[in-house]
Amino acid sequence: MKLTRRTILAAACSAAVLAQPMAAAAQDLPRNVRLVIGSNSTGGDTYQAAAIVAEALSERLGVNIKVDAVGPSEAFKAVGRDKRGTTIMLHHDQSYLANLYGVPGNPDPFEGYVVGPSLTINPGNAYLVPKNSPYQTMDDVLNAAAEGTRVRVAIQPGGVSEIGYTALRNAARMNAAGSEENIVPVNTGSQSDKNQAMFDGLADIINGSIQANEQFAQLPDDDQKAMRFLWITATPEVLQQGPEAGVGNLTRADMLQYAAPQTSVKLTETEDFTFDKRFFLIYNKDMDPAQMQTVDDALAAIYQKGDIQKRMLEAFFIPAYLPMTESAELLKGKRDAYGAIIEALKAPQ
Amino acid sequence: MDFLQFLTPMYLFLIFSGTLVGIIFGAIPGMTATMAVAVCLPLTYSLGLDNGLALLLGLYVGGISGGLVPAILLGIPGTPSSITTCFDGYPMAQRGEGEKALRIGIISSLVGGLISLAALFLFAPALAEFAIKFSYVEKFLIILFALTVMAALSDNMLLGIFSGFLGIFVSLIGVYDVTEGGNGQYRLIPPGTEYWLEGGFSLLPVLIGLFGLATILEGAEAGMPKGQSLKDIKVGEHSRFRWSVFKGQVVNLVRSSSIGTFVGILPGVGGSAASILSYTAAKTASKDPDSFGKGNPAGIIASESGNNGLTGGALVPLLSLGIPGDSTTALLIGAFTLQGIQVGPLFIGNNPGTWDSMIVAMLLANLVMFGLMYFAIRWLAMVVAVPKHILFPVILMMCVIGAYTINYGIMFDVWTLLIFGIVGWLAPKLKLEIAPFIIGFILGPAAEIYFVKSLESFGTLSIFFTKSWIALLLWALIIGSVVGSAMLARRKAQGQGAAA
């Protein structure tokens, strides 16, 4: 085909007309948005939370939002590259915990990025023992460590899984200085690896979740796979907001028995350690603040309407919307508090 | 007749369309069953659980099966699990037996799929109980057994083993991933390349680079050959498919399907290991092992029944323990969680309707896969008749798109494709062997994780010999495979000496 000036001009005009919706008012999000998540799994809670939020935001803003499970490192890179608002990230407390624990590839989200609104809490983070374990309570675990027994805890290092382990070591140190050395990590990967470590007798305690492990707690005592909840890290206030029926055979009342204050893992002499796994958005630091405000406003309207809360509660998420400023402040406070525990444990007693 | 309640037009349509789309994904180099399931996962929320699973299971079966088409016709494995299909399928296609090879592969896929489905339906809870007896130690030994195929696939054993170890070395570049139980630290990354090499080289771009791009570069070097004409596709009597090709292969079919199912029930061992192990076992047991890799139908039977045997097997731990057996079934968990259903040890008992629906969907997906592929063979086989100056650019474009999309749009994966395309082109000139290299690359990360975890857990090397009777059995298989390969190499050397 011969390219004349007229043809080129016509093509340029057509392109400009087609591109118009993409470059609408500055505060509008692009028509196609990629929501990258800090997990490679589409079967986990991060994907589930992202799917719920993406659907609601998509409907509200009239844009297409695609959830991509790329994992934390690639998600940070993708958001870091894109200041147009085409790529935003959804992750949870692991985003700053991995940085605190010094896992490479995990930047500080409060430094190079903008921490956005909070969306929801998964209250399921839990620690379990085999059904025939001698440990009936967390006090048993701490006392065993104080008496010199090695307690092996299966975790995935560098994140949500490890923060409870860190808290356990902190409590052991408070209970009997030096006994924290008897709380040892068994580094595993996925939840199935942690379960397998328990089946093989390689771990005395495993990190898990109410959702993933509850059915194992229903198995008969003589089953090699049978487990028992020992500790749920969520705050009682958050658990109270969950459905009364709970998950499977574990009712809300049961859950509260395994959480503070009934099950106490001391943070200080007067305070229990608790951990709510909070999901929130992360933006490129140069993204147009008006676009961030658009998302905030849309989320406020979505939560005001109330449908998303029902959907979240059905999936055992606790709705927990906080606008961007409040969210960043709260999360920064959490980061500083957990950072202090991690640093304190590094220092010799 | 409860299962009839599932057979709604929508359910049947979703299985059909899922299988068809899965076959297309599997047949495009660089696109996989996992990718097909990932793309369609969000749709399942609106479809409901049973219909959503029908779609995803169709995609799963279709995606695993579709990989045999480019493996046989182009020598490019459409999916990692069809790597061993290339070894015998492509030589058959090159000598004008592409259609025959395709029919063998499709029938083997169906048999593998049905045997594994029967195992899933009849023995799921019992198999899951057995699976948890496999700790890091036994899993490492399984991977070690699969690695012994490196020796069997080598033209020159020393160079082959060196190439295999080079593949393992390259596979370990990158972060020791915490999600795999590692410590999150970088290793083997040249300074200054951390940004790109943090995640290491992705498998799919490496695979299609070595097998796809390298073939194109070799073609470019040799000058564009003329494409085969349609006359060449209408093969002679001697190369026409006959059912008699399966005579004497029943044991191979059942053994390979069982190996595939078995590998599927072991979480983390990986789908590619299923076909590699089946191929290794078939070659070791063969009276004519030397013919493997040169167009022996038994190699295709082993590979395809093995990788389709995985489909039912991988659902065993998923539905009995809530643990996915491979990367694709890991995505299936998403369909359950999006519907607010937890899979775990009580899932089958608590959800008999969903369980039945899944079994019916798997059965129908296998039959639809067979119908679609078997009767489309004549058209599929014509791919080789497309002139190379048209075919190669299309393959190149598909390879680039596949590499770019495999990790949701990472440009470094395209560079990986190009780098390993050049490596694949240079390898024969440097006497490196590609087949052992890729086997090492595929199995290296799992071997490392299980080896390190075994030592971390038990603290002594002797555990590999003393852990269990399963470990001893695996050692016997490893030794048998190594001795068999050594004897084969010796016979080959003696034969070459006599010929000289």
Q: Where are the alpha helices (DSSP H) in chain A?
A: 5-19, 45-61, 72-81, 94-100, 109-112, 138-146, 160-175, 191-199, 210-217, 236-240, 252-258, 289-305, 307-314, 324-346
Which of A64, A77, A215 would best serve as a mutation to test chain B binding (most B beta carbons within 10 A)?
A215
State yes or no: pLDDT of A25 exceeds 50: no
Q: What pLDDT, on the 0 to 100 scale, is given for residue A240? A: 95
Q: Which residues contact B495 (CB under 8 A, 6 or more apart)?
A: none
A217 contact residues in B (CB cutoff 8 A): none
- Spatial separation of the C-alpha atoms in residues B299 and B180, rounded to whole Å: 32
Interval A244-267 mean pLDDT = 94
B183 contact residues in A (CB cutoff 8 A): 157, 187
State yes or no: pLDDT of A295 exceeds 80: yes
Of B323, B336, B346, the CB nearest to A192: B323
Residue B230's Cβ-side half-sphere holds a number of Cα atoms within 13 Å equal to: 2
Three-state DSSP class for residue A231: strand
A219 contact residues in B (CB cutoff 8 A): 345-346
pTM of the complete model: 0.83
State yes or no: pLDDT of A232 exceeds 60: yes
Phi/psi of residue B204, nearest 5 degrees: -60, -50
Residue of A nearest to B412 (CA): A74
Residue of B nearest to A55 (CA): B42
Q: What pLDDT, on the 0 to 100 scale, is given for residue B211? A: 86
Q: How far is CA B91 from the centre of its chain?
A: 19
A103 contact residues in B (CB cutoff 8 A): 178, 184
CATH 3.40.190.150 region(s) of chain A? 29-123+277-341
Is the CB of B132 less than 8 angstroms away from the CB of A70?
no
Is the CB of A157 less than 8 angstroms away from the CB of B331?
no
Q: What pLDDT, on the 0 to 100 scale, is given for residue A107? A: 92
Q: What pLDDT, on the 0 to 100 scale, is given for residue A26? A: 41
ipTM above 0.90, yes or no: no
Of A73, A192, A197, the CB nearest to B199: A73
Measured CA angle at B445 (ends B395, B264), to 5 deg: 80
Which 277-306 residues of chain A touch chain B by CB within 8 A? none
Which of A95, A101, A122, A196 would best serve as a mutation to test chain B binding (most B beta carbons within 10 A)?
A196
**Residue A196 corresponds to which amino acid?**
Q
Least confidently predicted of A7-16, A86-95, A213-222, B99-108: A7-16
CATH 3.40.190.10 region(s) of chain A? 127-275
Pairing of strands A64-69, A32-37: parallel
Q: Kindly state the helix (H) or strand (E) to which residue A284 belongs, with its residue range.
A: strand A277-284
Q: Kindly state the helix (H) or strand (E) to which residue B167 belongs, with its residue range.
A: helix B157-171
Question: Does the CB of A46 have a partner CB in chain B at under 8 Å?
Answer: no
Three-state DSSP class for residue A320: strand
State yes or no: pLDDT of B63 exceeds 60: yes
Three-state DSSP class for residue A64: strand
pLDDT tens-digit map of B461-484: 999 999 999 999 999 989 988 888
State yes or no: pLDDT of B224 exceeds 70: no
pLDDT tens-digit map of B349-380: 888 888 999 999 999 999 999 999 988 887 77
Which of A95, A188, A313 would best serve as a mutation to test chain B binding (most B beta carbons within 10 A)?
A188
B454 contact residues in A (CB cutoff 8 A): none
Which class for A150: exposed (0-12), middle (13-18), buried (19 or more C-beta within 10 A)?
exposed
- Spatial separation of the C-alpha atoms in residues B214 and B424, rounded to whole Å: 5
Interval B395-403 mean pLDDT = 86
Measured CA angle at A113 (ends A110, A118), to 5 deg: 70
Q: Pick A78 or B46 by higher pLDDT.
A: A78
Interval B324-350 mean pLDDT = 81
Is the CB of B342 less than 8 angstroms away from the CB of A215?
yes
Residue of B nearest to A98 (CA): B184
Domain A29-123+277-341: give its CATH code: 3.40.190.150
Residue of A nearest to B329 (CA): A43
Q: What pLDDT, on the 0 to 100 scale, is given for residue B41? A: 83
- Spatial separation of the C-alpha atoms in residues B145 and A123, rounded to whole Å: 43
CA distance A315 to chain B (A): 5
Residue of B nearest to A316 (CA): B340
Q: What pLDDT, on the 0 to 100 scale, is given for residue A21? A: 42
Residue of B nearest to A194 (CA): B181
Q: A132 falls in which pLDDT band (50, 70, 90)? A: very high
Residue of B nearest to A44 (CA): B334
B448 contact residues in A (CB cutoff 8 A): none
Q: Pick B270 or B400 by higher pLDDT.
A: B400
Question: Does the CB of A32 have a partner CB in chain B at under 8 Å?
Answer: no
CA distance B375 to chain A (A): 35
Which of A37, A193, A222, A308 would best serve as a mutation to test chain B binding (most B beta carbons within 10 A)?
A193
B184 contact residues in A (CB cutoff 8 A): 98, 103-105, 157-158
pLDDT tens-digit map of B149-174: 887 777 788 898 999 999 999 999 99
What is the CATH class of A127-275? alpha beta
Of B177, B330, B407, the CB nearest to A43: B330
Which of B337, B338, B468 would best serve as a mutation to test chain A binding (most A beta carbons within 10 A)?
B337
Question: Does the CB of A41 have a partner CB in chain B at under 8 Å?
Answer: yes
Q: Is the distance from CB of A282 to CB of A255 less than 8 angstroms?
A: no
* Average of per-residue pLDDT values in chain B: 86
CA distance B210 to chain A (A): 25
**Residue B311 corresponds to which amino acid?**
T
